Amino acid sequence: MSTFKEIQGQNIRSLSSDPSPAVNGDIWYNSTSQTLKGVQEIAAWSSGGNMTTARWGFASAGTQTAALAAGGYQTTTAQNATEEYGGSSWTNGGALGTARYEVGGAGYQTSGLAFGGESAPAKLALTEEYDGTSWTAGGALGTARRAVVGAGTQTAALAFGGNTGSITTATEEYGGTSWTAGGVLPAATQGMGRSGTQTAALGFGGLTAPGAPGKAATTQTYDGSSWTVVNSMNTARSDLGGGGTQTAGLAFGGETSDSAAESWDGTNWTTTTSLATARKYLGSAGLAPNTTSLAFGGVATGGGLTGTNVTEEYTVAATTKTFTTS
């Protein structure tokens, strides 16, 4: 059996008191309490404030303490309502100019972007920019589509995949006034998860064909000009939430998995704590770190086209543990 020194390259330290600060992976012997201790990161979802309007398929953006939701669908009606999350509750913001659902979103709460979507039966190319109070028209997408995925900021956004009447490979880049064509996806995909920026994006999961067999576990990275396929997710799914960066991402929810969550370290996906409320077509704080994410709205399992207003906050915290034999 290997010793701790053989594994870590050093002996366990003997200290009279716990180190401060202690970081994840630290391990030591506390000679005062005569206990073996270490630091472990614990991931958990906790309840946040409910959205004012229950819905799914809306544009989402921002961070855990400053998120944005705009548009979406509730039972029979496309929505134009906008809501802002301040870390504990949602408040109403300025309405979208055009009610729509399955909308792409990017940016921050005070500088958000909503693009594409559907106002049945039409697929839309419309882009709108949010300044924290109201929406104004921006440059139209080159390809009108719904179920499009967004990443990045208001002045440097990325739109990829979606459905134009069929599933598409199209990628477009927004420079603050207009969209230009980017590198195409290796496979036509809609409803992917996303994280990262315009020049360093991560796309994962999605739907490549109608029905359960079309759910994907594929992961792809974008470098500002082209997409590269990397290691797949553990669970294939579509219409999921995501956040973080290209090298430290988070995926959660989605159709087929509904509640499962996975974290990405730049190479591999690892299963982490599941959502309390299983759902798909949910919103996520795309620019939040993968250690402080946010999941909101969506369609709960078995909910048909009825949206939910549930919000959950994801936090990874370092916790000092005392090791025992039990």
Question: Quick one: pLDDT at residue 210?
Answer: 85
Question: Quick one: pLDDT at residue 6?
Answer: 45
Structure tokens at 216: 């994907």
Structure tokens at 262: 């996975």
DSSP at 158: E
Task: In whole angstroms, give the CA distance from residue 201 to residue 314.
Answer: 21
Q: Are 192 and 149 in contact (CB under 8 A)?
A: yes
Do 311 and 219 share a structural domain?
yes
The pLDDT-based confidence of 2 (bands split at 50, 70, 90) is low
Provide the mean pLDDT of the chain: 93
Domain that holds residue 156: 46-316
Tell me the pLDDT tens digit for each residue of 3-12: 444 445 457 8
Do 163 and 80 share a structural domain?
yes
Rg, the chain, Cα only? 21
Report percent pLDDT > 70 for the chain: 96
Do 229 and 90 share a structural domain?
yes
Do 235 and 306 share a structural domain?
yes
Do 281 and 173 share a structural domain?
yes
Task: In whole angstroms, give the CA distance from residue 102 to residue 150.
Answer: 11
Do 163 and 33 share a structural domain?
no
Q: How many CB atoms lie within 10 A of CB 194?
A: 31
Rounded to an integer, the average pLDDT of 98-122 is: 97
Question: Quick one: pLDDT at residue 5?
Answer: 46
Task: In whole angstroms, give the CA distance from residue 110 to residue 313.
Answer: 20
Do 57 and 13 share a structural domain?
no
Task: In whole angstroms, give the CA distance from residue 69 to residue 65.
Answer: 13
Continuous segment of H or E residues that includes residue 196: strand 193-196
Task: In whole angstroms, give the CA distance from residue 200 to residue 280.
Answer: 25
Task: In whole angstroms, give the CA distance from residue 220 to residue 201.
Answer: 8
Query: Read out DSSP for 17-67?
Result: S--SS--TT-EEEETTTTEEEEEEEEEEEEE-PPPSS-BBS-EEEEETTEE
- Confirm whether pTM is higher than 0.75: yes
List the alpha helices (DSSP H) in the chain: 4-8
Structure tokens at 313: 């906050």
Rounded to an integer, the average pLDDT of 161-190 is: 97
Which one has a higher pLDDT value, 237 or 31?
237
Task: In whole angstroms, give the CA distance from residue 192 to residue 235.
Answer: 13
Total domains in the fold of the chain: 2
For 102, how many CA atoms within 13 A lie in the half-sphere containing its CB? 25
Do 60 and 27 share a structural domain?
no
Q: Is the pLDDT of residue 143 over 80?
A: yes
Tell me the pLDDT tens digit for each residue of 252-304: 999 987 899 999 999 999 999 999 999 999 999 999 999 999 999 999 987 78
Scored b (16 or more CB within 10 A) or e, 205-224 reads bbbbeeeeeebbbbbbbbee
CATH code of residue 207: 2.120.10.80
Q: Is the pLDDT of residue 88 over 50?
A: yes
Do 311 and 179 share a structural domain?
yes
Do 230 and 267 share a structural domain?
yes
Contact residues for 37 (Cβ-Cβ < 8 A; gap 6+) = 18, 27, 28, 29, 30, 320, 321, 322, 323
Do 53 and 98 share a structural domain?
yes
Tell me the pLDDT tens digit for each residue of 203-231: 999 999 988 789 999 999 999 999 999 99
Q: Is the pLDDT of residue 137 over 60?
A: yes
Tell me the pLDDT tens digit for each residue of 17-52: 888 877 777 888 888 988 888 877 789 999 999 999
Do 264 and 206 share a structural domain?
yes
Structure tokens at 286: 């795309």
Please name the amino acid found at residue 119. S
